[in-house]
Structure 1
Amino acid sequence: MMHSRVTISAAMIVKNEARFLPGCLDSLAGKVDEIVIVDTGSTDGTIEIAESAGVRLLHQAWRGDFAGPRNLGLDQVRTGWVLYIDADERLSLPRGGRLADYIDPEAVAGFVRFRPKTNFTRYREWRLFRADPRIRFAGMIHETMVPAIKAVSRQEGWPVVQTHVEIDHLGYDGDISHKHPRNLALLEQALPLDPDRLFYWYHLAETYAGLGQLEEAENAARQGLERAEEQDDDNRSATASLLYQFLVRTELQHGRDPLGLIASALAREPDDYALHFLKGRALLAAGQAELALEVAHFLRAIDPDRLPDGWLAFDHALFGDKACELAALACLDLQRHAEAGQYFAEASRLAPGVLAYRVKAAAFGGGMSVNL
C-alpha cells in the first residue's frame, strides 16, 4: 500500500523525559510526517531536546489530568492519522519504510504489537487511529480513546485492523515506586467517575500493594472482579485476568489455597499463561507435585515468540527458567533428586545470571560447578 495515500503524526506528552526522549525521537525519525509534543512543565532539558529535533512543541501546565494535554496535541495534528506514543517507548517497523506503509486507509484504527517490558511477549494495543475530531482521550489517568474509536467505527462502518507495527516500552524496567503516591491520588479521583473501568481497579490494587497497604490492595482487586462479572468483551476479560493474578499471588503469599480462584480465572481466560504458572505453584504448595510437574511441562512446550497477539503479555521466563524451577521443585517433592538437578541446570542455562540455579544444580547432581 502506497504511503502517499496516508499522512501520519506521532503525538506525545512529556515532562522531564530527557533520559528517554532522544531514543524515542530517533525511532520516529524518517518514519512519520510530523511529531507533535505537548510539554507539561519539564525542567531537565526535555524542551531543548524537543526543540533541537524540530518537533512541533506545545506547552500546557500540568493540571492533574493526562487526557487534557493528549487532546491539545490531537487538536494541533495536521495529518490524516495519529500514532499515540510516549517518550519511554520505541517504534519499530519490521519491514522498514515509513509508518504510513503499514496503515490501511479504509480502517478507523490499527493495533500495534506492543511489548510492555523487556523480555515480555507482545500483545495488541490501540495506538494508531484517524485524526478525527470525534476521537479524543478521556480519563485523568490511564487516559483512553478506545470508546471514541469504537463509536466512530460503529457509526461509519470502518474496521479496526491488526498491523505489523511494533512498539517497545522501556519505562517499567526500573524502580517505579516513586510514581505510587501520584498514581494513588489520581486513581482515587478517577474511579468514582468511571467505576466500570477495570484497569483502574487493577492499578489501584497494585499501587496500594506498592505502598504496603495490603488490605486495601486486596479489597480493590476484589471490587474490580465484582465489576468484571458484569462485563464480557475481550479487553476487559484480559484485565479481569490481571485482577485474578493479583489475588492469586496474594493468596499464595498468605499461605492460602487459591486453586478454586484459579479455576474460575482459567475458565474465563484459558490462555492466561501467568495463571497457569501460578496454578503450578499452588499445586506444589498443596502437595500435588505430579500435577505441578505437568504444568511445568505444559509451559516448557510453549514457544512464547510464536504466541498469537492477544490482550495479555507474558514474561518469557514463565516458559523458560521459571518453568524449569517449578519442575525442579516438583521433582524434589517427589524425591527425584537427579531429575531436579537437571531441571535446575536447564534453568541456569536459560538464566545464567541467577546464581541460585547453579548452586542447586550442583547440589543435586545437575552436572554444573559453582565458582563463588
Structure 2
Amino acid sequence: MISVAAAMIVRDEERFLPGCLSSLRGKVDDVVIVDTGSVDNTLSIARTFGARVFHFEWNDDFAAARNRGLEEVTADWILYIDADERLHTPGDRPVAEFLDPDAIAAYVRFKPKLNYTSYREPRLFRRDTRLRFSGKIHESILPAIDRIPERDRLSIARTAIGLDHLGYEGDQAHKAARNIPLLRQAIEDDPNRVYYWYHLAESLAAIGRVDEALAVARQGVQAAQQRPSEKQRANASMIFQFLARTYLERGQDPSALIAEGLAAVPDDHALWFIAARDRLNAGEFETAWRIAEDLLSVDTDALSDGLLAFDQRIFEEFANDLAGVAAFRLGLFAEASRHFLRAAAAAPDNVSYRIKARAALLQQQRLKA
C-alpha cells in the first residue's frame, strides 16, 4: 500500500492549523511540519495532532523552507499543503486510494478562494531527491516534476482530490506590502515567470499604487512571450483580467486588451464577463446580453481540469444582473425581470435585485396598459 505524508511550513498559524490538521485525519499517514519562527500556539497544536515538527531559520526563501520538510519525509508520496487549506477526498477516503502507481505526480482540484471554481494544481508527488521546490516566493515543484517525465516517461495524473484555500479572505493590504520586495527579488531571479508579474501588479494596486501596477502588468504580458507554455498563458490571462478591469474602472477603453487576452485564452470566462460589462457601457446591449447568457450556460463543475479559477458569481448572480440590465435597455422588460429575480435568488441579501425586478415588471405592465 502506498504511504502518503502531508508536508507544510508554518508560522503563527494557530487560527488555521487545527482545521487543516483535522482535514488530514484518516487521509494521510504522516504529517511533517516545518516551523519558521512561531510565537503563538502553533507548535503545541501541531504536536497535539501528532505531527512531527522541525525548525527552520527563516531566510526569506519559501522554497528552502519547504525543501527542509521534504528531507524529513519517509512516506512514498508527498502532499504539500498550507495551514489555511483544507483537504477533502471523495468519501473521505485516504489519499493513497487516488494515486496512480505509474505517475510521478498528481493534480488536485484546488479552490483558491471561497465561492470560486477550482482548477488543477500539482500538489502530490513521489518522494524523490530530484523533486525539490524552486522560487523564493510562490515556490513551485512543477519545474522539477516537468523535467522527470521527459526523462523517465512518467505521467502527471489527475485526481478527484480537492484542496480549498481560506487565507485570501479579508483585507490583504498587509500581505501585499510584505510581498512586494520578495516579488521584486523573485522577478530579478526569474524575469520570465509571469505569475510573479501578476502578483506584483495586484499587490501594488492593493496599496494604492495603481499606475505602477499597470506598468508592471504590461511588463508581465511581455514576459509571457519569452517562455510560452499553457501555465504561462493562463497567468498572462490573469494579467489581462487585471488590466481590463482597471481600465474599465478608470473609464478607459479596455476592448483591445480584452481582444488580445481572449485571442490567447478563449475560455477565460472572467475576461468574457469584463467584455460584457464593457459592451454594456458602450451601448451594445445585445452583445452584452449574449455574453451573459453564455456565462449562464457554463458547466462550472467541468472547469476543475483547467488552469484558471473563477468567481462563481459571474456564472449566476453577476451574469443574471448583467443580462437583466441589457434586456431592460433593449425594452425586454419581462426578460429583465426574470434575470433580476434569478440574481436575487442567488444573493438574497442584495435587495437591489428585487428592486430592479419590480421596476422591470412595472415597465412591462405599462406596455400592456
Name the TM-score, length of structure 2 as normaliser: 0.95
Aligned residue number for residue 367 of structure 2: none
Counterpart CA distance in 2 for 1:217 and 1:80 is: 43
Note the C-alpha offset of 1:121: 1.1
Does the 8 Å contact 1:90/1:168 carry over to 2?
yes
SS at 2:164's partner residue? Answer: strand
Note the residue ranges of structure 2 that are not aligned, 5 or more in a row: 364-369
Unaligned runs of 5+ in 1: 368-372
Task: Quote the Cα distance in structure 2 between the aligned partners of 1:193 and 1:13.
Answer: 23
Match of 2:112 among 99, 113, 116: 116
Q: Is the 8 A contact 2:136 2:182 kept in 1?
A: yes
In 1: Cα distance, 2:329 partner to 2:39 partner: 56
1:322 aligns with 2:335: no
Answering whether residue 213 of structure 2 is matched by residue 211 of structure 1, we say no
Conserved? CA contact 2:172–2:206, under 8 Å: no
Structure 1 308/86 Cα, relative in aligned 2: closer, same or farther at 3 Å? closer
Secondary structure in 1 matching 2:60: coil
Farther off after superposition, 126-135 or 255-264? 255-264
Please give the per-residue CA displacement for 1:173-230, whole angstroms capped at 9, x wherever unaligned.
2222221111011111111100011000000000000010011100111000011123
**Which residue of the partner structure matches residue 159 of structure 1?**
155
SS in 2 for 1:76: coil
Q: Check if 1:72 corresponds to 2:57.
A: no
Q: Is the 8 A contact 2:20 2:84 kept in 1?
A: yes
Matched, 1:202 2:198: yes
Q: 2:32 aligns with which of 29, 36, 44?
A: 36
Give the CA deviation at 1:308: 5.0
Output the CA distance in 2 between the equivalents of 1:8 and 1:350.
39
Aligned-partner Cα distance in 2 for 1:234–1:120? 21
**Is 1:362 aligned to 2:358, yes or no?**
yes
User: 2:183 corresponds to which residue?
Assistant: 187
Q: CA deviation at 1:359?
A: 2.4
Instruction: Please give the residue correspondences for 1:164-179 in structure 2 after superposition, counting only pairs within 5 Å.
Output: 164-179=160-175
Match of residue 22, structure 2, among 19, 26, 29: 26
Matched, 1:89 2:85: yes
Q: Answer yes or no: is the 8 Å Cα contact 2:328–2:360 preserved in 1.
A: no
Find the partner of 1:148 among 133, 144, 148. 144
Matched-pair contact (CA < 8 Å) for 1:343–1:366: no
CA distance in 1, matches of 2:229, 2:362: 47
Moved more, 95-104 or 262-271: 95-104
C-alpha deviation, 1:351, in angstroms: 1.1
Question: 1:57 is matched with which residue?
Answer: 53
Q: Which amino acid aligns with 1:19?
A: R
Equivalent-residue separation in structure 1 for 2:362 and 2:201 (angstroms): 40
Residue of structure 2 in register with 1:224 after alignment? 220
Hey, what does 2:133 align to over in structure 1?
137
Report deviation, 1:159: 1.0
1:263 aligns with 2:263: no
Would you say the 8 A contact 1:342–1:365 is kept in 2? Answer: no
> 1:19 and 1:139 mapped to 2: Cα distance?
26
User: What does the per-residue CA deviation read over 1:272-324, in whole Å, with 9 as the maximum and x for residues that have no partner?
Assistant: 11111111011111111111011111111123123351001111111101001
Q: Which amino acid aligns with 1:98?
A: P
- Which AA in structure 2 matches 1:298? D
Partner Cα separation in structure 2 for residue 237 and residue 190 of structure 1: 19
- The Cα of 1:366 is off from its aligned counterpart by 7.6
Maintained 8 Å contact 2:320/2:343: yes
- Does 1:331 find its partner at 2:336? no
How is 1:237-252 mapped onto 2 (pairs within 5 angstroms)? 237-252=233-248
The answer to whether the Cα contact below 8 Å between 2:109 and 2:304 also exists between their aligned partners in 1 is no
After TM superposition, give the deviation of residue 262 of structure 1 in Å. Answer: 1.1
Q: Is the 8 A contact 1:241 1:272 kept in 2?
A: yes
Q: Which residue of 1 aligns with 2:279?
A: 283
Q: Counterpart of 2:320 in structure 1: which amino acid? A: C
**Which shows bigger deviation, 173-182 or 25-34?**
173-182
Partners of 2:115 and 2:208 in 1: how far apart?
Answer: 27
- Structure 1 residue runs of 4 or more that deviate by more than 6 Å after TM superposition: none
Q: Normalising by the residue count of structure 1, what TM-score does the alignment of the two structures yield?
A: 0.94
Taking only the aligned residue pairs, the percentage that are identical comes to 48
* Aligned-residue offset at 1:338: 4.3
Aligned residue in 2 for 1:370: none
Q: CA deviation at 1:89?
A: 0.6
1 CA distance for matches of 2:97 and 2:155? 18
